[in-house]
Chains A and B, each alone.
Chain A
Amino acid sequence: MTDTQPRDSDDWALVARARGGDVRAFETLVRRYQNPVIAFCYRMAGSYEDAEDLAQESFVRVYRALDRLTPRAQFTTFLFGVVRNLTLNHLRNGKRRGRDRSAPLGEEDQFLEDSAAGVQPDSAARLSETEDLLAEALEALSPEHKEVIVLRELQGMDYESIAEVTCCRKGTVKSRLARAREHLRKRLTELGVTLQ
């Protein structure tokens, strides 16, 4: 793991202190994981504003769940499980929350439409053309392909952790990752991109 380097015992110690009413212990967890969480949400949701909202809501949910948390496996897989659920629900329900409850939910097109509409070029860090096209290809993946790629390549998680976060089997993670990469490479070829 890179960004989400497991510091399990330390994380759980902070959770225990936060449960006991030490708000600063929770703040340490927020400081530790805010950037990986925002990066995940940004790649999934496509918009920075949405990413920040989702990240904020996720941390609040985690805080609310502290009393019921059990120090099982890694704190990060729990955290990203919450982040991931909120993000997928956001992608699915975006239209419904917009007072249009009759809109079809969970359709692939809906996902693509939502995310394509939300994309905003990051003006602070101009992407190189290759990066731009790669980001575009990633953006176009289905959510279940995108999430395994983002968790693996951007968050540096191993298959076991990805399986925990996405609530599927390790074998499913493996096959989804392979298929997601195939899609990416196919799209990049169509866009005329050669990665060195």
Chain B
Amino acid sequence: MNNRHVFDELPAFLDGEAKDAERIARHIEACPDCAREAAALRALSQGLRALPRPEARPGFRGRVMARVAEEAERKREPFLAGRWAHWAVTGVAAAALIAVAGFMATMDNGEDPNGSLPIAAPPPADPANEATPGETVAYEEDWEFAPEWEYALESGVSAEAAEAILVLLLEEEPWLDDMLTAYDTERELDLLLANMTDGEAGAFAMLLADYAEGR
């Protein structure tokens, strides 16, 4: 044996993710200790992969598609009227969304010990697919982005991250529920809006739009 043990590198090696796979493979061949460890890890993986995986029961897809049909029907009707529709599609909403995204990102301190913020920062960008400002990424299809998502992309926030932030806010923030309960008349909404900055109002309108669409 001519080099150090590779215990710590074995999990990534066995996952096909090690940088120096050849060196590790050579070491395992020559070192019974590391070979034993590798065998134990392999056995664990095999055991996990052999665990039963429940499948969709008959009727599952039908139930999903019934919900989807409802959604498709709803998509054909305008779900927002008047000022809400205006708010939801303007750049104001986009700017507010980015502000929210930026705010969430600043809260990220790397590893969250409690795992309380599943989407703390946008996922790592793939440089090959990254949109740069003023430049549209060439895709197979000619996509039309909704203005806010186009803006989000140009601002370096992925649509997935933006979507995830909205989902998170809707899922995680009881204040939204309370707010909607508290401000469910038009007059009260007007009062609420009057006390919000444009950005806040735009972001709120978007959340409300998603909420109205979704529930």
Contact = CB atoms under 8 A, between A and B. Distances in A.
B114 A106 contact: yes
A195 B63 contact: no
Interface in B17-65: 17, 40-41, 43-57, 60-61, 63-65
Given A68-B146, A78-B160, A164-B124, A154 B49 contact: yes
A116 interface: no
B151 to A, nearest CB: 12
Contacts of A68: 145-146, 149, 159, 163
A167 B119 contact: yes
A5 interface: no
Main secondary structure of the interface of A (DSSP, over half): helix
Given A61-B167, A85-B168, A149-B48, A42 B64 contact: no
Interface residues of A, number: 81
Given A81-B164, A131-B51, A149-B48, A55 B60 contact: yes
Interface residues of B, number: 68
Contacts of A59: 64, 67-68
A106 B129 CA distance: 34
A22 B11 CA distance: 43
A184 B49 CA distance: 14
B192 interface: no
B115 A142 contact: yes
Contact of A85 (B121, B167, B213): B167
